[in-house]
Amino acid sequence: MKPLQHAQISAKNYGGNWTDYIEIHSFLDSSKATSAHFKHRFLLHHTEGIELAVSVFGEKITNSEKREISTRKLLTEHLIEDVGRIVSIEDWVRDLMPEQNNSFCRFLAKKREQIETNAINGERELFQAFNLRQKDIEAIKKFLTFPFENSDHPAALLFSHNSFAIFLAEKIFGYAFVKNTKKTDKDAFKKQLIAVREVFERLIFLRLKAVYSPAEIIARTNEADWMRGIDAGSAKAEKQRLAEICREDEKLGVYNRK
């Protein structure tokens, strides 16, 4: 289902115009820009991805009819419309990489342990070179370990350590961090910013010795029918019913209101 269809269904359910909802639905589907394969959904189509979206858009949105709607509820419905049920990173990683006794999983397990114990060689020095505020360093580390909260699988690491996550970080943190520059530095105005993208590119590369693209991850992992939405069951039937209603309303011009 496309973001427009999700937005039309939200408008049907909660009032207002589809344009009130298109941005948040496009956010959850933005991972498709990295790969046309249905497994692109592993990046954001889970409860943890919904929480990231809430951190970007807030707990509620207000539609054009001045009605407040839960962002989390809207995106949970989006998730069910796409895969038929509520899934977590653990569900994804368990089916993407069911075998953990291969060299790649062993590599990821080693890296995850190093990250969790602050044992990545050169990481402390890299942060010193960035000269970031401590609260920003803590926020960066928390973002990169969000997949660990509900999954012990070594490959959970890949959900935040990839090229898409670098651009996702810009959604969370903005385009630049402010350096921890002393006010007495006469040239502070010239060097007080560092690109969020640079920080995450260099940190992820330091940790994994590579920045994997989602397409690379998709190519080397397994798949399951539920990832396509094949086992959606009653949710699939409801999705088709709502989509048909939206198409009929579109013919009548319901969604052309500005």
- pLDDT digit string, tens, across residues 172-229: 999 999 998 766 555 655 568 999 999 999 999 999 999 999 999 999 999 999 999 8
pLDDT digits (tens, 9 = 90+) for 89-144: 999 999 999 888 899 999 999 999 999 999 999 999 999 999 999 999 999 999 99
Instruction: Look at residues 30, 19, 27, 24 and name the one whose alpha carbon lies nearest to residue 70.
Output: 24
What would the pLDDT profile of 45-68 be if each residue is shown by its tens digit?
999 999 999 999 999 999 999 999
Q: pLDDT grade, residue 258 (50/70/90)?
A: very low
According to DSSP, the β-strands at 176-178 and 193-195 are antiparallel
Q: Which two tokens stand for residue 45?
A: 């189509």
The position carrying tokens 């427009």 is 4
**Alpha carbons 9 and 232: distance in angstroms, whole number:** 17
What mean pLDDT, rounded, does the chain reach? 89
Which stretches within 84-213 are classed as H helix? 89-96, 103-116, 123-130, 134-144, 163-173, 188-191, 196-208
Q: Are 255 and 17 in contact (CB under 8 A)?
A: yes
Model confidence at 255, pLDDT cuts 50, 70, 90, reads very low
Q: How far is residue 9's CA from residue 74's CA, in Å, rounded to a whole number?
A: 10
* Cβ–Cβ under 8 Å, residues 20 and 11: yes
